[in-house]
Structure 1
Amino acid sequence: MNRTWTPYRAGLLRGLLEFRYFVTSAAEMTGALFPSLIALVVMIFLRDTDVDSSVVSLGAMTMPSLIGMNIAFGGLMNVLGILATEREDGTLLRAKAIPGGMTGYLVGVVVLTALSTVMTLLVMMVPALTLFDGVGLNGLGGTLTLLWVLTVGLVATMPMGAALGSLISSPRLVGLLMLPITGLIAVSGIFYPVTALPGWVQGIAQVFPFYWLGLGTRSAMLPDAMVAVEIGQSWRHLETLAVLGGWAVAGMLLAPLLLRRMARRESGSAVAARRERAMQSAVR
């Protein structure tokens, strides 16, 4: 057996086992799927709401954007949350003590995050394709576009989630990151065309993955006529690939450095101190 690949095989098995636990746990499934189901119900109520000069309803216009948002949100926040939680409970310290353990651990996190994100997307996508007029995969081209947007989106967001997770010492701090992320989502054209916003806000939105993932999924699932409300009246596939690819490269360069730094600082005393702070916070 080639020892070089042993951590990767162990990580793959770990990820698959954790995903099996995830789908068989009522609490885990409820927590993961509840936001998507709520969003789906809201969009169903809006599927008969017309938008001026639009060929689809407000619900149909928003559904693909929500799917794109879930790609970014799942890749970023899931990895971040897992690292923050398992750093506090000592899982990372145990992985560090095993040869190749950190590699296997991170592979497992990536596998779990990718599978759980795809599952939540299917929960939204399958009803969207059947319940919303005008929403569908635009032939082979639309299907391929959705696949590469999903793949590149996860590759772009998961390393950044790992980088941020390595900087957070407590899962209670994850909620603080929700505020700026929610703000970015609000200005990224997810719930209404970004062209309705001031030019400088459009510029900020185009720096981050949320806008581009929403644009990519809209291009794959909405009628071609809807391109009229986009910036430059174009789906801008090359720009989407370039920006998401840039985030992927930045994340893959930054995440290993921060993760190694985090692993060096992990010790039994550090874990005990974090547990003590967590217990004190709970008592308060």
Structure 2
Amino acid sequence: MNASLYAGRAGLRRGLIELRNSVTNVQDLFGAIFPNIILLVVMLFMRGAKVPGLNFSLGATVLPSVLGMGIAFGGMLTLAQYLMVEREDGTLLRAKAIPNGMTGYLVGKIVLASGWTLLGLLLQLIPGLIFFNQVGVNGVGGWLVLVAVIVVGLVATLPLGAILGSLFSNPRNMGLVMFPIMGLIGVSGIFYPITQLPVWLQWIGQIFPIYWLGLGMRSALLPGQLAAVEIGHSWRQPETLGMLLLWAVIGLVVAPMVLRRMARRESGSSVAARREKAMQRVG
């Protein structure tokens, strides 16, 4: 059997085992459920507000956008955090010491991050469909769009998470990753129609995948009349797919180069130095 294929299969098994262990861990499960409860409560408070110019609940509009945001968070932040933590504790170095170990390691982490992302989507989507009767999948076409946005969205964001995790060796630097992403959420039309923002902010939001993930989920779950508050008064589904595929290509080209560079720089001395700094901070 091809060595890379064998490593990929081993990584798949590892990822599924880690996912099973995580979802049966009370602390990990609470960490996944609690933020989703907070978001649902926020959207319920927004249920009485109306979309500007339409008699439609703003909370119902936000739900699909939050689902798109969840894909971005799961793909980028979850994988980045795994890489940072396990780079510091030496797990990544041990994977590097095994033939094709990095391939198996990354496949496992991608499976784990994808599993948690899909779980988060279900934790938001199922209660959301119950509480917001204006939200629903629009027929077979809606299901196809929903699945396509989820799959292509993960392919677009997971490589970006690997890049971010490779650039920062200290998990305490997550704030350096979080703050820019939170800023992008603010200009991506997640919690309020992007057309209400200044035009220059609309252009910034459209550069990054968070906006397109939110738009794609809205097009799958909201009635056509809501496209009136979008840019161009359209769901722009071809543009959504094209932009997400573009980010997927960029990530898949750049991520392996960044990961190889990061792996070459990993050594026992670098891991020991990071541990010593961590112990000094604890002390």
Shorter-chain TM-score bucket reads over 0.9
Distance in 1 (CA, whole Å) between partners of 2:8 and 2:107 is 6
Letter in structure 1 aligned against 2:162: A
The range that moved more, 237-246 or 199-208, is: 237-246
1:44 Cα offset (Å): 1.8
| Other-structure match for 2:11 | 11
Distance in 1 (CA, whole Å) between partners of 2:273 and 2:110 is 28
Distance in 1 (CA, whole Å) between partners of 2:2 and 2:203 is 48
Alignment TM-score, normalising by the size of structure 2 = 0.98
Corresponding residue SS for 1:156: helix
The superposition leaves residues 42-74 of structure 1 with CA deviations (integer Å, 9 ceiling, x where unpaired) of 212322333443242111011110001100111
Corresponding residue SS for 1:136: coil
The superposition leaves residues 177-211 of structure 1 with CA deviations (integer Å, 9 ceiling, x where unpaired) of 11111000011000000000111000000000110
Contact 1:56 1:133 in 2 (8 A): no
Distance in 1 (CA, whole Å) between partners of 2:36 and 2:54 is 25
Contact 1:55 1:226 in 2 (8 A): no
Distance in 2 (CA, whole Å) between partners of 1:55 and 1:269 is 62
Query: Do residues 32 (structure 1) and 38 (structure 2) align?
Result: no
**Equivalent residues in 2 for 1:189-208 (5 A)?**
189-208=189-208
Distance in 1 (CA, whole Å) between partners of 2:166 and 2:45 is 40
Letter in structure 2 aligned against 1:190: I
Letter in structure 2 aligned against 1:166: S
Contact 1:88 1:274 in 2 (8 A): yes
Distance in 2 (CA, whole Å) between partners of 1:224 and 1:55 is 14
**Equivalent residues in 2 for 1:157-176 (5 A)?**
157-176=157-176
**Equivalent residues in 2 for 1:1-284 (5 A)?**
1-283=1-283
Letter in structure 2 aligned against 1:105: Y
Letter in structure 2 aligned against 1:275: R
Letter in structure 1 aligned against 2:247: W
Distance in 2 (CA, whole Å) between partners of 1:263 and 1:170 is 15
The range that moved more, 108-117 or 53-62, is: 53-62
Contact 1:215 1:235 in 2 (8 A): yes
Structure 2 unaligned segments of length 5 or more: list them.
Answer: none
Letter in structure 2 aligned against 1:151: V
Letter in structure 2 aligned against 1:54: L
Corresponding residue SS for 1:8: helix
Letter in structure 2 aligned against 1:87: R
Distance in 1 (CA, whole Å) between partners of 2:138 and 2:14 is 36
Contact 2:3 2:100 in 1 (8 A): no
The superposition leaves residues 119-159 of structure 1 with CA deviations (integer Å, 9 ceiling, x where unpaired) of 00000000111210210001111111010000111000100
Structure 1 unaligned segments of length 5 or more: list them.
Answer: none
Letter in structure 2 aligned against 1:231: I
Contact 2:4 2:103 in 1 (8 A): no
